[in-house]
Amino acid sequence: MNGYWEETRGLMIKALVVWFIFAFVVHAFVNVLNQVVIFGFPLGFWMAAQGSLIVFVLLIFWYARRQNAIDEKYGVAEED
């Protein structure tokens, strides 16, 4: 049981680190990133308009899969 909560907390911290980077850190470097232009998009602008959003969506699905796997591993998943 203890191991379960440690792992859950570890996953939470990992997810929030990724969240923090794409919510705040990348956008602090917007002017640097804007030097790079892909398909007409200055990269710094694109990260705020679309890039971070894509990361957030993928992050939640990744988190859900990992957490469900942790539940299985420790036998605390719900019976269907």
Partner 1 sequence: MSEATPAKNAFLANLGKIYAIYTGGFLAFVVFLGILEQLGVPERIIGFLFVGLTLAVYAGIGVLSRTMQVSEYYVAGRSVPALYNGMATAADWMSGASFLAMAGTLYLLGYDGMAFVVGWTGGYVLVAVLIAPFLRKFGAYTVPDFLAARFGGNVARFIGIIVLLAASFVYVVAQIRGTGLIAERFLNIPYNIGVFVGLAGILLCSMLGGMRAVTWTQVAQYIVLIIAYLVPVVIMSYKFTGVPIPQIMYGEALQQISQLEQTKEALAGVKPHIQPFTTYDPFNFFALIFCLMVGTASLPHVLMRFFTTPSVRQARYSVGWALFFIFILYFTAPAYAAFVKLEIYQNVLGSALNALPDWVYVWGAHGKVKICGVAAASVEAVQQACAAKGVSMLDWQNLSIAKDVVVIATPEIAGLPFVITGLVGAGGLAAAMSTADGLLLAMANALSHDIYYRMLDPTAPTGRRLIAARIILIGVAILGAITATVAPPDILKLVAWAFSLAAAGNFPALVLGIWWKRTNTTGAIAGMLAGFGVTLAYLIWTAAPPLGLGNPELFGLKNISAGLLGIPLGFIVMIVVSKMTAPPSPEMQALVDEIRTPKGGVVMDKS
Decide the pairing of beta strands 37-38 and 41-42: antiparallel
Question: Which residue bears the tokens 């602090």?
Answer: 28
Min dist. Cβ of residue 53 to partner 1 (A): 5
Q: Which residues bind partner 1 (CB under 8 A)?
A: 1, 4-5, 8-9, 12, 15-16, 19, 22-24, 27-28, 30-31, 34, 38-42, 44-46, 48-50, 52-54, 56-57, 59-61, 63-64, 67-68, 71, 75-80
Least Cβ distance, residue 67 to partner 1 (angstroms): 6
CB atoms within 10 A of CB 52: 19
Using CA atoms, how far apart are residues 11 and 41, in angstroms rounded to an integer? 33
CA distance 8 to 3: 9
CB 27 → partner 1: shortest distance, Å? 7
